[in-house]
Amino acid sequence: MDTMFSNAPEPQAVCNPSTRSAIFMVAVLGTGANCADAVRDWCGDVAAITRSVSKRSPDGNLSCVCGLGSAAWDLVCGTPRPAGLHPFREFGSGDRAAPATPGDILLHIRAEDMGLCFELARELVLRLGDAAKVIDEVHGFRYFDQRAMIGFVDGTENPIGRVLVNSTIIGDEDAPFAGGSYVLVQKYLHDMTGWNALTVDAQEQIIGRTKLSNIELDEGVKPSWSHSSLTTIVDGEREVKILRDNMPFGRPGAGEFGTFFIGYASSPEPIEQMLENMFVGRPPGNHDRLLDYSRAVTGGLFFVPPVDMLEALPKATATSTASR
């Protein structure tokens, strides 16, 4: 099935254009007996609440993507589970590690104006009540010409057009969940003092691109341990694409400078391969030198149901709940 056909399930706003502002929220389910039912009902209201807030500022490009982690899916929906949904896989060790952190629900709220993001986040959290608790919240912003905190343009190799849809939206390979997507998130904190002490040439070697013009370095010049080299995944002669909608965040007064990584794909495998290349190395030991200045502090994997499924999630049966 081509996921662009009109009879395909409608995806959530995965492929929406990047905006100037975003709020990322990760929540964990409560422990009450009715939390699973409350979260299921809340998921059915997410789209309607988003529409209500969006109507107050029609030009604000407000959208919201809602995803569920594997443990939440088992509790709320039971079986079957989306084929690629599993707990976040950790990579690396010691000071260079991609850790897994708690997370049952992910909200990715986007708009041109932070006020719109804030209003939608407020309404959604209010409606969620005690059914889940937000444990991580990041307010991201557009940094000049879509640059990361480290000063390089981010998301240059994002797919477009038909490739964008086919790279991010599940098709016949997992037909019961067609129209869905997977999203992997990590919060990175940067050592800006150490990074800014490097020469521009050294930074460009680490990233694999020129800093000002954003041109990829020639293969004969670009190191095999550059970020660009290690995050390029090739299947045969075809480069495997994912969609990144990363955002900078920070608190200058607290000395906090970071990037919220968010990657969408039709399978988590290419993103996980990128992380293995970065944190372990390709070959092992040839790790991403950006990690000498950037530290991952969170990690989560979520399934993004298509619109109709999110509005009417299946209910876990006693049998499916007991089998976990």
Element (H, E) at 35: helix 35-54
Q: Is 19 helix (H, G, I), strand (E, B) or coil?
A: coil
113 is catalytic: no
CB 68 within 8 A of CB 146: no
| Catalytic residue (one of 154, 174, 218, 235) | 154
- CB distance 249 to 139 below 8 Å: yes
ω before 80 within 30° of 0 (cis)? yes
Name residue 274's beta-bridge partners: none
Buried b or exposed e, range 42-75, using 16+ CB within 10 angstroms: bbebbbebbeebbeeeeebbbbbbbbbbbbbbbb
CA 171 centroid distance within chain:
20
- 176: amino acid identity, one letter: P
Burial 111-136 (b: 16+ CB within 10 A, else e): bbbbebbebbbebbbeebeebbeeeb
Cβ contact 109:120 at 8 Å: yes
Cis-peptide, bond into residue 9, ω within 30° of zero: no
Catalytic residues: 154
